[in-house]
Amino acid sequence: MFTGKQQAKAKAKGKKMVTLFFVFVSILLGYAGLFGAAVTGKGTPKGKGTPKPVCCKNCGKVIVNPIAIKNGMGALCAKHLPAHRVNMASAPTGYITVGNLARYIKSQRAAGKTNCTISKMVKALGGDAGVNAPANAITVPVYVGNNRYVHPYLGTLAGLQAMYTGKYGKLPNIPGDVLQAYNKVWGLPAPAPAPVLTGENK
């Protein structure tokens, strides 16, 4: 049997072992945290002077070419824009942002109410950088600065179906200034002006 002195000594040794165990585990966890931060890039402070990524002011993609950075847009956008942009001082009444349209598509897909995808939307609007002709006058994006707005019809299930299938049937009215700008940008004939009623043909 252990004497009181031996029991106290064994107890102290046990406490010491437990302390050493916890110190060892803490060290391991510390190394694991550093390793995880190195792999994921999280938890590590950015070095001083790290350049902030520069994005194209039109399509939002990161650009690295020095000339493109100076111009503020990538080569593709610089080649085709702003000639292919329908620019307006303010968004037409009711028009929604492309960002909100994208979120609507995601929510309706999650609910199982549409098969439309973001890629279908992008194609309908004229491509990622908007350098191609929109699928229809109803899908022409209107630029207010660098913000894009689209017809509210696209933010309905019928609009999503039209973008998904590419079939645009009977559509709601498109604001006249948007339609004329769209026709001018893409080289299509502008709508004929309404005839002026005179005293002879009133």
pLDDT for 70-105, tens place per residue? 777 777 776 666 566 788 899 999 999 999 999 999
How many percent of the chain have pLDDT more than 70?
60
Q: What is the pLDDT of residue 39?
A: 44
If asked whether residues 65 and 105 sit together in one domain, one would say: no
> What's the rounded mean pLDDT across residues 10-28?
58
Domain co-membership, 67 together with 126: no
- Is the residue at 105 inside a domain? yes
The answer to whether residues 90 and 178 belong to one domain is yes
Q: Are residues 64 and 151 in the same domain?
A: no
Residue 28, in any domain of the structure:
no
Last residue of a domain, one of 81, 101, 130: 81
In a domain, 3, yes or no: no
- Whether pTM exceeds 0.85: no
Question: Do 58 and 108 belong together in one domain?
Answer: no
Position 110 in a domain: yes
At 32, list the tokens.
């694991």
Q: Is the pLDDT of residue 194 over 70?
A: no
| 154, part of any domain | yes
Residues 68, 149, single domain; the answer is no
44 pLDDT tier (thresholds 50, 70, 90)? very low
- Segments forming the whole domain that contains residue 72: 52-81
Residue found under tokens 């792999």: 39
Shared domain check, 110 and 176: yes
Whether 97 and 178 share a structural domain? yes
**Same structural domain for residues 110 and 178?**
yes
- The reported pLDDT for the residue numbered 17 is 67
Based on the fold, state whether residues 91 and 68 are members of the same structural domain.
no
Average pLDDT, the chain: 75
Whether residue 165 sits in one domain with residue 94: yes
Total domains present in the chain: 2
Class of residue 191 by CB neighbours under 10 A (exposed 0-12, middle 13-18, buried 19+):
exposed
Q: Of 190, 173, 3, whose CA–CA distance to 92 is shortest? A: 173
Query: Please, is 125 exposed, middle or buried when counting C-beta atoms within 10 Å of its C-beta (0-12, 13-18, 19+)?
Result: buried
Mean pLDDT of the 25-41 span: 49
Phi, psi of 149 (to 5 degrees): -125, 150
Q: Poorest-confidence range of 4-13, 27-36, 135-144, 160-169?
A: 27-36
Using CA atoms of 107, 112, 117, 118 in order, give the dihedral in degrees to the nearest 10. 10
The pLDDT of residue 129: 67
Helix pair angle (98-110, 157-165), 10° resolution: 90
Whether residue 87 is found in the same domain as residue 150: yes
Report the C-alpha gap between 116 and 121 in whole angstroms.
Answer: 8
Q: For 58-82, b where at least 16 C-beta lie within 10 A, e where not — what string?
A: bbeeebeeeebeeeebbebbbebbe
